[in-house]
Chains A and B, each alone.
Chain A
Amino acid sequence: MRKNLNVIAAYSIMMALIILVGIFQSWNIALSIFNLCLISAVMTMGANIQWGYAGLINFGIMGYTALGGLAAVLISVDPVQEAWSAGGFDILMSLWLIIAMVLIIRFILKRFNKSKMRTYSIAVIIISGILLIRFSAEPGIEAIEAVNPAKTGFLGGFGLPIIFSWIVGAFFAGGLAFIIGKVALGLRADYLAIATLLISEIVIAIIKHEDWLTRGVKNVIGLKRPAPYEVDLQSTDWFINLVEKFNSGKLELISNLSDRQAALNQLVIEGSSIFVKLCYSGLFLTVVIILLILTQKALYSPWGRMMRAIRDNEEAANAMGKNVVKQHLLIFILGSAIVGIAGAMLVTQDGLFTPGSYRPMRYTFLIWVMVIVGGSGNNFGAILGGFAVWFLWIEAAPIALFLINFFTAGMSETHALKLHLIESVPYFRFLMMGLGLLLIMRYRPKGILPEKIEIK
């Protein structure tokens, strides 16, 4: 208990901050911050596994998040029958072509020794394969995109409950990580960072522009929810009774019957959106707790010890007979899969998929700030980082506004500098993130909750 005092203190402060937002701003805002904190925590856990356990830099978090989101779309949207009959055959043909291409390349790689000839022939196969696929898929893609473009214009998905997409998203992201890991894991740390950053940009470019699969920048809206809809709740009896019971004290003060009914209606509307958010919180919290238990178990298992050994001294671990390349690939896939889950959770919560919103600032660098600030190598630290940084990211604008008003109190209301500063309030969050990161890296380089390994 004593040892974990700082962890408990840090989490209590965090919770208290969120509750303060609930009291002073509104419970709706507090809960939406809390939900996104939970999602961020999942992302930071994924990044922490890669960076904290194994020392691998992955700046491609944005790409995995987007793939998780894509999984949510492909799982939950109903299939568009028209589009399938219009162009499904061509798409399936191209899929077969891709599989055939991969098999041929694998065969060549296995069969022949490394030589210039082999490299060139693989290049020729890839280029001609891409051209072939383009030509064969072109009519299909055009046909699919022509099917009711304002509403669908894509193949749709499988029409399953969206919850399944959390698992599928993990598989998608893990698959991408497998390919990237095979390509880039041999590189030195900062090159790995650049390479993963650029590859994630390629993934986003594909998601943005392959309209037949993702609707691209036209966005997919109105995804199915795992939680009830507010409108339904507002007309259900048990929910109205529940709200009445909760607020009975407040309602009894109002003597006028019609006034009381109006107040109740207002409370029901507020309560319904809080209830929906609470449903999400429950789901997300379950995921976070399951992942936390698993990652903690992994951290203290022989496997976790091996990963730390590899991180701290690769050559020595290699000399002890540990397969460094294989373990790096494994942990790269695991971490990315967790980020994929978070991506699917994010789209589930928003109920819409907007490829245009995936930007490296928000989905890669911010997550890294969270990991570094929270404490790399420590799961509790990573989660705390997710909470603290997301909280600051959202509350930065009100804080900045307060500070600006405080420091420019002496100026008149129409002073140009004051107006300009108030106009640029949204950008103070970047300043806070940057300064926070720089200060933490300088004065507490291991993060708020540093890595602490007990040897039993």
Chain B
Amino acid sequence: MDFLNALILLLNYIFIPALTYGSQLALGAIFVTLIYGILRFANFATGDMMSFGTMITVLFTWYFQSLGISLGVLPTALLAIPFGIFFMILYMLSIDKFVFKYYRTNKSPPVQLAMVSIGVMFVTQAVVRIIIGPSDQRFFDGEKFIIKAREFKEMTGFNEGLALKSTQVITVLVTIILVSLLFWFLNKTKTGKSMKAYSDNEDLALLSGIDPKKIVMITWIIAGILATIGGALYGLDKSFKPFTYFNNMLPIFAAAIVGGIGNPFGAFLGGYVIAFSEIFLTYAYKKFFMYILPESMEPESLVQLLSTDYKFAVSFSILVIVLLYRPSGIFKGKVL
């Protein structure tokens, strides 16, 4: 019984939150890795592009809510996401046309493209803040919990409650569907394969008749889908605040590099590696040990490896260690 209580505790406070957070990071990390693999630069505007897509979704959600359209128990935002994606893709394609294309055709070094992406970051940040403002926006509606902690306790008779938020389930489900579709696309379709070929060896791909314009366009479209959905899921689960999105860029970069940059599957797993290690290392295990250890050995302190203030620092330290010992990432990406 105590053992099961301890397990539920871990499930409730570590496993489910980490899985949700990891999914959100994973979508962002695949976005970074695709841009890196195919357009060949580190995109510092990642976080702010995600916030742009989320902003459009939020605006449409509010519009639908004002019309009285809703999905019942599901959040209305799910209905708004396709519109968000549409405008996001338009935004990304126009940025590519007016900004990035010039440097790509000139074959500028990746550093210069990264600098340009900083300019895009500033502009996007300004646009988002001017349109929706810098403060917290909540746009979640519908049923909040699937299982409430108290109901779970009454139902099963355990001491520990297990709460399951609907946003958590939606996040994980959507991520699984989206990522499997993406991998199917990359590995099975002709366009996906040509994208891979372009990423591996640009000259060879051009020789074999692959159209670079099409590849670049499809990359931005996929990136737009990933960025909007990843951002909207994060916003649904927590809340939408432009500054947090800018900050999230850092663990997303960490996830992409840890997973091996240029490797979408690596980025996907990298998101979970970062999320789980952040939460594992900063959780206070006192209650857990109270359940599994006999009373005499119960710990007095919190049994916390690192204080929660260092949550971000954990993921960055992992990144530094990976860069030192295995610079191509855990799952073999491009060699740096």
Tell me the A residues contacting B by CB distance below 8 Å. Answer: 57, 119, 183-184, 187-191, 193-195, 197-199, 201-202, 205-206, 208-209, 361, 365, 368-369, 372, 421, 423-424, 427-431, 433-435, 437-438, 441-442, 445
Complex CA–CA separation, A229 to B115 (angstroms): 42
Residues of B near A441 (CB, < 8 A) are: 112, 115-116, 119
Contact of B313 among A190, A206, A431, A437 (CB under 8 A): A206
Residues of B near A184 (CB, < 8 A) are: 320, 323
Which of B179-187, B218-226, B229-237, B304-312 lies at the interface with chain A?
B304-312
Residues of B near A429 (CB, < 8 A) are: 126
Take A202-B313, A205-B310, A431-B123 as given contacts and tell me if A361 and B115 are in contact as well, using a CB distance cutoff of 8 Å: no
A202 & B323 in contact (Cβ 8 Å cutoff): no
B254, CB-defined interface residue at 8 Å? yes
A430 & B125 in contact (Cβ 8 Å cutoff): yes
B41, CB-defined interface residue at 8 Å? yes
B28, CB-defined interface residue at 8 Å? no
A438 & B119 in contact (Cβ 8 Å cutoff): yes
B323 & A434 in contact (Cβ 8 Å cutoff): no
Take A189-B110, A202-B313 as given contacts and tell me if A369 and B320 are in contact as well, using a CB distance cutoff of 8 Å: no
**How many Å from the CB of A55 to the closest CB on chain B?**
8
Take A205-B310, A372-B115 as given contacts and tell me if A198 and B327 are in contact as well, using a CB distance cutoff of 8 Å: no
- Can you list 19 A-B contacts with CB-CB less than 8 angstroms, sorted by A residue number? A188-B336, A190-B41, A190-B110, A191-B42, A191-B257, A194-B253, A195-B320, A195-B323, A198-B254, A198-B316, A198-B319, A199-B320, A202-B312, A368-B118, A427-B130, A428-B130, A434-B120, A437-B119, A442-B102
Tell me the B residues contacting A by CB distance below 8 Å. Answer: 41-42, 99, 102, 109-112, 114-116, 118-127, 129-130, 133-134, 246, 250, 253-254, 257, 307, 309-310, 312-313, 316-317, 319-320, 323-325, 327, 336
B323 & A191 in contact (Cβ 8 Å cutoff): yes
Take A438-B120, A441-B119 as given contacts and tell me if A430 and B129 are in contact as well, using a CB distance cutoff of 8 Å: yes
Which has the most chain A C-beta neighbours within 10 Å: B111, B133, B250, B317?
B111
Residues of B near A208 (CB, < 8 A) are: 309
Take A421-B130, A427-B130 as given contacts and tell me if A193 and B313 are in contact as well, using a CB distance cutoff of 8 Å: no
**How many Å from the CB of A376 to the closest CB on chain B?**
10
A365 & B118 in contact (Cβ 8 Å cutoff): yes
Complex CA–CA separation, A209 to B110 (angstroms): 36
CB nearest neighbor in A for B254: A198
B336 & A198 in contact (Cβ 8 Å cutoff): no
CB nearest neighbor in B for A123: B321
Residues of B near A191 (CB, < 8 A) are: 42, 257, 323, 327, 336
CB nearest neighbor in B for A51: B111
CB nearest neighbor in B for A440: B119
Sample of 12 more A-B contacts, CB < 8 Å, known A187-B336, A191-B257, A202-B317 = A183-B324, A193-B111, A198-B319, A205-B309, A205-B312, A206-B313, A361-B125, A365-B118, A365-B121, A368-B115, A433-B122, A442-B102
Take A191-B257, A431-B126 as given contacts and tell me if A437 and B316 are in contact as well, using a CB distance cutoff of 8 Å: no
Take A194-B257, A427-B129, A430-B129 as given contacts and tell me if A438 and B320 are in contact as well, using a CB distance cutoff of 8 Å: no
Take A430-B122, A437-B119 as given contacts and tell me if A198 and B250 are in contact as well, using a CB distance cutoff of 8 Å: yes
CB nearest neighbor in B for A187: B336
Complex CA–CA separation, A188 to B110 (angstroms): 10
